Structure 1
Amino acid sequence: MEETQRIRMLQCPGHPVDVVIDTDTYNEVDDQFALAYLLGNTDRLRLQAIYAAPFLNEKADSPKEGMEKSYQEILKLLDLAGASQYRDRVFKGAEHFLKDAVSPAVSEASEDLVCRAMAHSAEDPLYVIGIAAATNIASAILKRPEIAERMVVVWLGGSAFHCEEMEEFNLIEDVAAARILFNSGVPLVQLPCWGVVERFSISRPELEKYFTGKNPLAEYVAGYAIQDVEEWAAGLAWAKVIWDVTAVAWLLNDDQRFMNDRLVPCPEIAGASGYVFSEGRHTMRYVYRIERDALMTDMIQTICQL
């Protein structure tokens, strides 16, 4: 792909576009907010499919279990939102992380992504919102590298360039997948977690004030977040980062109203040790600042009107 074409594709779309979302929904509370925010913006973001991504932590004994729990959580959220029309567009993702940089993790999700991306073009790309380890997305690219010229990936992961280390969940879960994403040449928008997106947090009083009693989905996402955080922060004043909302919001970022970004040479991923910057690398878009209050206001209004 020529740089001029990549840069054109990296502009925030100011019109309705086709999107898919790749999410480890059961992993943390922020995926629920992101999916709810997306469901409230389907006039601009035409939701084509939802992919359940693998994850591994105290909530899941294996990546497969994490993916299966995420799949069930997606269906639950769709029911709460009264959006059952999307149930047949939910696909199970990989059961394991990538074993190397050449072998895809075959799944329904990666197969569907290949098919949908191939139906698009550089002039009318598919937008892929990645808010999990990049396993499913990287697997699709490994299977059909040409899809990198037919889609734009908006990925929440890694740390800001000025951070000293890369100990961030979405990246560390599958470093091989992140490396493939950054090396493939796909038009990539990165929303770094530590150092940038961590600014986007919400407190218990805000959750209770703005979401309680509004609708079943709003009630659920707020109650789930409060219960989850109170398990480790009971009695403390706290604010919870809801990272994943920002990846959806980038596609609605007309006139930089929710965040600021810039075009930069795409670095290589060196794992936990950081990035490798070198000359001659292709261009990506890098988000460096979140307008917390503007985005928070829009997210609250959108979810509460579902």
Structure 2
Amino acid sequence: MSAQLPACQLLERYYGQAARLCPVAPPEDTWLLTHSAAMVSDNVALRQQWQASERLAVSPFEPFDYLPEGQVVLFWPKAHQLGKWWLEWLCHVLPDNTPLDIVGEHQGGIKRVPKMLDELGMSCDKLDNARRCSLFATRTVKMEAPESAWQTFDALDMRLVSHPGVFGHGKVDEGTQLLLQALEETLPKKTLKVLDMGCGDGIISAWLAKRGHAVTAVDVSAFAAEACRRTLHDNALDGTVLESDVYSALEGERFDVIVSNPPFHQERDISYGPSTRLIDEAPEHLNAKGQLILVANAFLPYPERLQRALGGFETLSDNRRFRVYRATK
């Protein structure tokens, strides 16, 4: 079996079929899984895939108490500051002078890595390039746990905490603002059990908790879940925050309202998978007369899916760029 993605194809070309790797922040690629003993990822869905194949898969927010088998390879993310966080984290958790390779696509910013390594006092050797990707080698140097990437900002009369790579990092996006306006106008003034699906840095969760609702927040990203926890904490608000691949961590649990600003991008590709599951499986997680309220770009094909899953919907807001939909069980 050959690698499918360009960065993995470069690794296959360089390491060969005898490769034994420990990827960090990897993409989904069967060749990579087959040739790896363990992995580290913020993505709980990807970790569950690896665990199902009897591979060790851990979150960067879990205690890191093992030495990886095989060559550690960091897949460079498109968010430059997120890449820096991963570098600092690896330098913090791995022994000094551990070999570390870094791979990524040219359009994703991998060419900036040598300069960043130099700024961090780390060595840099170029090993290979192909498929519009490059592979660099370095070694870890001792560093403190990375905290500088966390960003705090004020919005909507709250203190919000964000991290590179989390949707809407450092700001409240237009769609979320439209959604919150619609919620202000339509939610009853009583305590509701609410699920914030795809919580990001916790803007919606904190807004709901501040108004007295019992909030459960979920996100596939460990960075998002941790940002949401910090946002709730910094505002002295209560809420349950879980890492979850859509509803995977919520078996049997039902809510009065499910709220979401669902993503439709997977890196640079459009992906409707999570949004489709959000809508299709909503009836199983809503109480009687429960509501699914979501905001989406106006061009996205959600109305038809809402019609099929819940038998109808209404448009609460429409500013031509975004629409807020409500469907009732």
Please indicate, yes or no, whether the TM-score normalized by the shorter chain is above 0.5. Answer: no
**Higher RCO by CA contacts (8 Å cutoff, separation 6 or greater):** 1
Name whichever structure is richer in helix by fraction: 1
Larger radius of gyration: 2
**TM-score bracket, shorter-length normalisation:** under 0.3
Which structure dedicates a bigger proportion of its chain to strand?
A: 2
TM-score normalised by length of structure 2: 0.25
